[in-house]
Structure 1
């Protein structure tokens, strides 16, 4: 009888200890999860404005490197087609270098589209410059660039802007 009583007490003791252990681990897990959500919320409060700013800056970058905007800004400052080409390429590189850190805050796909748009714009400028003499007036190069841009079905910057806008919509 004593043996049976000790066994019952022992089993009850183990059941109580296991119940306490299960309760403590469940409470600890819930507290840990709550802390994770609070930290995630704080990070979101910090990173969301940075991400939005990055998307804004990349939209501005794409607008600034479109051939139309580049040419309107820079044609008057060039004396020849070669000089205009160099000025255009320099301006694109400077804009890109100024915004390269924004890739941390946007998706890899969006960054790839931005980089592709920049590379295609550079390719259009270089292609157009090979089709006219280096000492031609800058307006001739501008016309050639415009003709290449018009020939494209989808403008590189327009496509990249579309991707950026779609991603911004997914944030909200």
Structure 2
């Protein structure tokens, strides 16, 4: 893989991770105004339950579109690079589209984190695929993507997104 491209991808990934970390760190410092308490209100309890379920589904989505997990589920021997690239990106888009309605139950920041995770994962797959020779196998593409993810010193973005979603869900339960 070309060194300058790897550096470009790594810097972009680090910037996204750092931005999410700073955003959720600063948001943690601020107190959110609480909704007016209505003791015994079934509607409020039902709304809270829907929101918690949405956060739960988004945590699962983040786990499902995490590149190592996605590759282990989608690893089909015999596919060429282009077919594997299409399979991986299509699977990410389908998983995301399936959970699209959850955005109405979660904060804009939580939804934006999920959307950024989707876009970043597709970007990584496409960037690595564009660097590799055309005649390489899909298995080799998967290996290069995993290798790239393992070489990230800040850790994985999907873990950070999951932690942010869990934090917001815990605040909702408090």
TM-score (norm 2): 0.73
Would you say the 8 A contact 2:79–2:139 is kept in 1?
no
Q: Determine whether 1:60 maps to 2:56.
A: no
In structure 2, runs of 5+ residues without a counterpart are 1-35
1:5-154 equivalent positions in 2, closer than 5 A: 38=38, 41-76=41-76, 79-152=79-152, 153-154=154-155
Write out the 4+ residue segments of structure 1 that deviate beyond 3 Å after TM superposition.
36-40
In structure 1, runs of 5+ residues without a counterpart are 1-35
- Match of 1:17? none
Kindly tell me the number of residue pairs found equivalent between the two proteins.
137
Between the two structures, name the one with larger relative contact order (CA 8 Å, sep ≥ 6).
2
Would you say the 8 A contact 2:58–2:102 is kept in 1?
yes
- Cα shift at 1:154: 3.3
Report which of the two has the higher share of helix: 1
- Match of 2:156? 155
Aligned CA RMSD, in angstroms, stands at: 1.9
2:104 and 2:40 mapped to 1: Cα distance? 18
Larger Rg: 1
Classify 1:130/1:142 alpha carbon distance in 2 versus 1 (closer, same or farther; 3 Å).
same
